């Protein structure tokens, strides 16, 4: 009989293989001189500096691994965003296309395959086609770009005012958009089970005169909900904060 330890060991082995491959792809894109410098810093540190301190315990090692995976994912995401050259015109194209992708259309076109009922568990990869996986990744990339990316990341939007996004999502599903900062756990809704309180995700972003950023955020969240989060309604509120640069 398979034990819990064997299951966990197999999952860790799979994660190690995936991490190694993603790290290889990310490092292959870096300049050769940079890679050489990084290697020398590790094998020949300056004599006046103490050697790197090993992690204190297993918990610290796990945290370091999680941070490393998150950093690699962020680098890959920004590279994909940079390739778009996102501006107001291309953003309008994204919004128009996403708005047409209802849950019914996603199923009719074979992008979703026998998904669980709305309001139940997350929609996993087994219920998404390869095209749906790519679409979900793109929607998350666009959401990240609208909230956090700037000219350096290839996002050319004339942001003239500040706005605040607040998303309410079940706590067990909040990791699906984990790059949004968690602010608080909302009071329990009478319609929800007591063991599933909501989490508030809140972030300030920059809006453009045409208010396309807010429209894009709403379209991304709706598509992500239809492809993964799987709530009957995903509550999101966007409100004007004021003019000026984001802090």
Q: Indicate the SS3 state at residue 5.
A: helix
- What's the confidence (pLDDT) of residue 53? 62
Decide: 203 and 179 in contact? Cβ < 8 Å: no
Q: What is the pLDDT along the chain (247 residues), one digit of tens a residue?
A: 567 777 777 777 777 777 777 777 777 777 777 677 777 767 665 555 555 565 555 545 565 777 888 888 999 999 999 999 999 999 999 999 999 999 999 999 999 999 999 999 999 999 999 999 999 999 999 999 999 999 999 999 999 999 999 999 999 999 999 888 877 665 544 444 444 478 889 999 999 998 999 999 999 999 999 999 999 999 999 998 865 443 3
Confidence (pLDDT) at 223: 97
Nearest to 220 by CA among 115, 111, 107, 94: 94
The pLDDT score that the predictor gives to residue 224 is 97
Q: How distant is the alpha carbon of residue 173 from its chain centre? A: 12
Q: pLDDT value at position 195?
A: 46
Task: Write down the pLDDT at residue 189.
Answer: 47
CATH class of this structure's domain 85-243? alpha beta
Q: Is 218 helix (H, G, I), strand (E, B) or coil?
A: helix
CB 132 within 8 A of CB 111: yes
């Amino acid at each position: 009989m398979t034990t819990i330890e064997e299951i966990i060991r197999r999952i860790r082995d799979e994660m190690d293989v995936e991490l190694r491959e993603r790290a290889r792809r990310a490092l292959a894109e870096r300049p050769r001189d940079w890679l050489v410098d990084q290697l020398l810093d590790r094998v020949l540190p300056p004599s006046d500096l103490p050697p790197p301190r090993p992690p204190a315990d297993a918990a610290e090692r796990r945290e370091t691994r999680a941070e490393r995976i998150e950093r690699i994912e962020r680098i890959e995401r920004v590279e994909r965003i940079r390739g778009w050259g996102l501006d107001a015109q291309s953003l309008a194209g994204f919004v128009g296309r996403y708005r047409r992708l209802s849950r019914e259309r996603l199923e009719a076109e074979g992008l979703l395959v026998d998904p669980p009922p709305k309001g139940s568990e997350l929609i996993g990869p087994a219920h998404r086609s390869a095209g749906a996986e790519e679409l979900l990744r793109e929607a998350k990339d666009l959401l990240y770009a609208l909230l956090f990316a700037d000219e350096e990341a290839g996002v050319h939007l004339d942001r003239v005012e500040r706005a605040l996004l607040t998303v309410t999502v079940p706590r067990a599903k909040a990791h699906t958009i984990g790059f949004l900062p968690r602010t608080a756990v909302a009071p329990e809704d009478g319609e929800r089970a007591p063991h599933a309180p909501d989490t508030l995700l809140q972030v300030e972003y920059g809006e453009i005169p045409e208010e396309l950023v807010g429209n894009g955020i709403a379209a991304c969240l709706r598509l992500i909900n239809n492809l993964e989060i799987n709530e009957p309604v995903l509550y999101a509120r966007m409100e004007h904060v004021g003019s000026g640069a984001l802090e």
